[in-house]
Amino acid sequence: MDTTPASSPVARTPVALAPRVSVVIKALNEERHIAAAISSALAALRSIGGDVILADSGSSDRTVEIARLYPITIVQLKNPAERRCGIGPQLGYQLARGEFVYILDGDMELDPSFLQAALAAMDADATLGGVGGIVEEESEANYEFRGRKRRGAERVVRDCEWLDMGGLYRAAALREVGYFSNRNLHSYEELDLGLRLGAAGWVLRRIAVRGVLHHGRREDNWTLLAARWRSRYLDGAGEVLRAALGRRYFFRVAMTQRHLFVSLLVWLGAVGGLALLPWSYQPLLATVVGVAVLVLIRAWRTRSFADACFGQVVWQVTALAMVRGFFVSPRDPMQPIEYRTIA
């Protein structure tokens, strides 16, 4: 029997309970959208209970200054040279205490009704390791975002292998697979996480509820492609292949990059064709015809010859970046990420 007096300090001390949901917002130079992202996360948590953690990768604009106006935790990557798409979610996860963890990009707005619907789905099905919602894409400024909107993969309600564009994850599932997001990946961090969870027996699902509004990038085609190359975002294809080496889902990862393997064959054909040109023009001609066929197929699918031509350029550039990324030695993804606390 508990005999502690009601007036005892022990009896008055509240029990520190873990929050229901921790929302991790990853950001880099998102001063245009960060206020909306934080406000949407706080609004979604209002009836649930939880905390918001901004994991900033060393913004040089007013992102952090704006974020400090809100009652959230703000941490910043200590070494900006480590910037990658995979490091922000993992940094936020290091501080997350929630039973569930939601990952939100700094240029997104979380729908106020999504968390409740996702929690209901996960409470009803203990096999669910993660739940995503319908993604509304706003930008059509360039080839990449027009393609996302046209394909609409994040608008299909179904069980998924991975959850692109954010989702709510069960913290117990994340602990089981060791880490949230692979710190080495410049992209494809959601794919890597989804396949790790799937290999452990967890199910991922996209439900028929609006999840986020994604504002997206507004650069033109060539500016965005150059930025993706400089930031090594395009290296993610090779990095995720390397991360999957020795895992039973390696072939599945390789299949997601099959278009880049075709692009490498185009490079080999072009180089070989030029080398053989003094003796025969046929190898180079065969390569040119092959590229023309690929462009025409894409033009038929996209209904845009200009996008089809630029898409082939993207494939060829990304194929080179894939090779570059594959041969970079990764760090241990379980190693803690160094950071400074801002607020």
Residue 329 is given by DSSP the state: P
Last residue of a domain, one of 218, 251, 270: 218
339 forms beta bridges with: 77
Range of the domain at 212: 21-218
Residue ending a domain, choose from 193, 218, 243 = 218
236 shares a domain with 328? yes
Among candidate residues 22, 31, 23, the one with its CA nearest the CA of residue 215: 31
Residue 210 located in a structural domain:
yes
Q: Is the dihedral of CA 110, 253, 181, 194 positive or negative?
A: positive
What is the torsional sign of CA 283, 289, 293, 295?
positive
Whether residues 47 and 145 fall in one domain = yes
Locus of tokens 């033009």: 299
Number of domains in the chain: 2
Residues 124 and 34 in one domain: yes
Residue 280 exposed, middle or buried by CB count within 10 Å (0-12, 13-18, 19+): exposed
| Structural contact between residues 169 and 130, judged by C-beta atoms closer than 8 angstroms | yes
- Determine, yes or no, domain membership for 14: no
Same domain, 211 and 256: no
Q: Report yes or no on 342 lying in a domain.
A: no
For residues 57 and 184, state if they share a domain: yes
Task: Classify residue 6: in a domain, yes or no.
Answer: no
Q: pTM of the predicted model, to two decimals? A: 0.90
Taking residues 333-339, report their average pLDDT.
95
What pLDDT score does 262 carry? 95
Question: How confident is the model at residue 302, as a pLDDT?
Answer: 86
Same domain, 35 and 135: yes
Is it the case that residue 8 has pLDDT exceeding 70?
no
* pLDDT higher than threshold 70 for residue 43: yes
| pLDDT at residue 4 in the model | 36
Domain end, chosen from 178, 202, 218, is at 218
Most confidently modeled range among 196-200, 271-275, 278-282: 196-200
> What is the residue-averaged pLDDT of the chain?
92
